[in-house]
Structure 1
């Protein structure tokens, strides 16, 4: 009875999207403000790994992993019909995630202890998903488990580059390739999930049949990205350098995913920000891959391509998905709340500035970085302000979840 009473008073712990969407978004704003201060010469933190490592790691594994966990742990309940994490187990998982953020930002504990706390999060999410998928034998959804474990492996590699850089030859190279691997794994996840939800949401909202799926196109879109991830894993684990092969695979993946996106009829969604935000975010996947391929071939650093994927695709897709899921799963009408369309547009503009603009005008980096950071904070603050009530209160229809 005591547990049930607490459970009723804490709607935040009823499904994973509630705490992870809100705290993940809040953490991203905090991390960006710290990065803004650092960029302007104000050191607000002395985090584990140094500020450059912390920024890259925390946007991928602090912010990104939280939103991924919130979405997948909620979706698996719909897919399998099995109750997902809630109550005390969900609170324990949230505390694990929060503890890692605090340890990385504020403490000087041994690196191996920080690694154990931080890296445990994604395997725990994978285990929770696997249990429910296996229980109902929905083997198709089991593919998400190795994707999450691959992301956890990238996290381990980033930690190892910091824990003992003397023992590990060229730890800077290990750190770079691990960061690239993490971003590519997240891109694969966006292609897998985007192919499910974007055409479904679009056709359902606009009232037309879902477009037909072409098997070869689906295999090319997903298969080439899976091959890219595996090749990057080999690069991470060895001295292999395969720029030409990687660039070729990326161009194939970009072309097939652009063609795939064209079948989803995104042009019909121009009046619905929650839809065009998803379509526009997916557009940055082929754009980022083309930029990455070009920068590999020309011998340039791939930071512009990385940010096309990180801001234009990951950041925008997560914002659009959170805005929609947070309404649907709290029993509210799915509509664009005031300012959300502006938030998505601002984030997309920031992605273009940080990627395409800086390739064309590299000497403008100082003011571009500042604008991009401010744009991210504004966009996610709009989400936080609008969605605090839905995420922290019970469903309006009185049902659980």
Structure 2
């Protein structure tokens, strides 16, 4: 995905700058929502009930970080990227406002269910991802950019995981909720693997003036196939099928090894002066870390939720922050550089991931402090993003182009 210039000609659209491309409203809303929801979660962790959401606070925390926060950024990123990938106009103006309103209404009814029936909450909340998939699929097929079709089934499976979480609440099935949440985490991880493989090596080579390593077809194939295999095995578990722990763990270790070899070729060790680069490399490194910890959890050596948080905080949260910081500059016509404090924000996210995952696995007695610090670190990191990017995302591109 290009983050420097728009592929569209210069124009002066009439709609508000905030509604010219999907990254603008969704990056802002997702960042703000993550801070607010985690402060509510912090209060709950310290014994204060500030909210009585649908499904209870534990379910709400799991669900909303995946299908509120992460889904908004995935949608904003893909609906912006598809314009560059296809050369066709993406969602903007009134239709984009409608999609934003749908996301906001879903967040409100999940937080304040107002005794609405579960099926209505399900319908409202479920609609967002299929709409993103339909819009993206239409543009990809119209432009015949077949390599980007991979995102369509992933988005639809992501929506399926959301459906399963809702059904788990309606049926009182905690195991279905858990396995559906695991599937959602692994699906986002798969998307990070695909997108990261496309852009991290390129960004690193361009910024550091180094040659970009040529992809190794076998390595790329093993990485993609093993990552998809993990998702399919977890899908099988979610729908009630039997998957031996040794099989799931083995495929996870293969995916972790392939990702380690893959990222070792991208020159991350040379990016230490550039936070927007080492933030991407650090977040990608959390993918094999999380998969290895997950495989170990299947042997009973640690809790699976520790591995999940390596992927969610270190991988998802950090990569999304790094990508948003970069995309929000490039797509508003600004030079791509690390703004003051953004390096601190990315460092805090990685520290939160390490504390919440491997450190907590080794020192479970510091659980209370680790939970608290990881939440605070996330909130500070995303507050830094909001402080820098709220105004640019609400303003027209400084180069006068559309987008």
Where on the TM-score scale, by shorter chain, does this alignment land: which range?
Answer: over 0.9
- Structure-1-length-normalised TM-score: 0.96
Q: Deviations over 1:68-107 (max 9, x none)?
A: 0111000000000001100000000000111100000012
Contact 2:15 2:93 in 1 (8 A): no
Q: Deviations over 1:329-379 (max 9, x none)?
A: 000000000000000001100100000111000011011100011000000
Q: Deviations over 1:132-165 (max 9, x none)?
A: 0000111110110000001000000000011132
Deviates more, 1:239-248 or 1:327-336: 239-248
Q: Please tell me whether residue 126 in structure 1 is matched to residue 128 in structure 2.
A: no
Q: Deviations over 1:298-330 (max 9, x none)?
A: 264301000000000000000000000000000
Alpha-carbon separation, structure 1, partners of 2:372 and 2:348: 14
Q: Which residue of 1 aligns with 2:334?
A: 332
Q: Please tell me whether residue 322 in structure 1 is matched to residue 324 in structure 2.
A: yes
Q: Please tell me whether residue 153 in structure 1 is matched to residue 160 in structure 2.
A: yes
Q: Which residue of 2 aligns with 1:47?
A: 53
Gaps of 5+ in 1: 1-5, 166-170
Q: Which residue of 1 aligns with 2:81?
A: 75
Contact 1:7 1:87 in 2 (8 A): no
Alpha-carbon separation, structure 2, partners of 1:181 and 1:136: 30
Alpha-carbon separation, structure 1, partners of 2:224 and 2:258: 9
Structure 1 residue 387, shift from structure 2 partner:
0.1
Aligned residues: 391
Structure 1 residue 53, shift from structure 2 partner:
0.2
Contact 2:302 2:361 in 1 (8 A): no
Q: Which residue of 2 aligns with 1:290?
A: 292
Q: Which residue of 2 aligns with 1:251?
A: 253
Gaps of 5+ in 2: 1-11
Q: Please tell me whether residue 208 in structure 1 is matched to residue 210 in structure 2.
A: yes
Contact 2:333 2:397 in 1 (8 A): yes
Q: Which residue of 2 aligns with 1:168?
A: none
Structure 1 residue 236, shift from structure 2 partner:
0.7
Alpha-carbon separation, structure 2, partners of 1:180 and 1:304: 12
Contact 1:45 1:105 in 2 (8 A): yes
- Structure-2-length-normalised TM-score: 0.96
Which of residues 118, 132, 136 is equivalent to 2:143? 136
Contact 1:185 1:229 in 2 (8 A): yes
SS at match of 1:332: coil
Alpha-carbon separation, structure 2, partners of 1:19 and 1:242: 43
Q: Please tell me whether residue 281 in structure 1 is matched to residue 283 in structure 2.
A: yes
Structure 1 residue 262, shift from structure 2 partner:
0.5
Alpha-carbon separation, structure 1, partners of 2:390 and 2:184: 29
